[in-house]
Amino acid sequence: MKTVFAVILVSLASVTLAQEPLVFDNPEQEARYIKLTTELRCMVCQNQNLADSDAPLAQDLRKEIHGMMLAGQNNDQIITFLVDRYGDFVLYRPAMKGNTLALWLIPGVLLGIGGIAVFFTVRSRNRKLIAQRQEGSN
State yes or no: residue 123 binds another protein (CB under 8 A): no
User: If we measure between CA atoms, which residue out of 89, 113, 84, 87 comes closest to residue 103?
Assistant: 89
State yes or no: residue 91 binds another protein (CB under 8 A): no
The answer to whether residues 49 and 39 touch, using CB atoms and an 8 Å cutoff, is yes
The correct pick among 21, 56, 98, 108 for binding another protein (CB under 8 A) is 56
Burial class (CB in 10 A: 0-12, 13-18, 19+), 120: exposed
State yes or no: residue 69 binds another protein (CB under 8 A): no
Most distant pair of Cα atoms in the chain: their distance: 83
Q: Taking CB under 8 A as the criterion, which residues in 25-44 touch another protein?
A: 43-44
Give the nearest distance from C-beta 60 to another protein in angstroms.
Answer: 5
State yes or no: residue 87 binds another protein (CB under 8 A): yes
The correct pick among 38, 46, 77, 126 for binding another protein (CB under 8 A) is 46
State yes or no: residue 57 binds another protein (CB under 8 A): yes
Look at residue 125 and give its three-state secondary structure.
helix
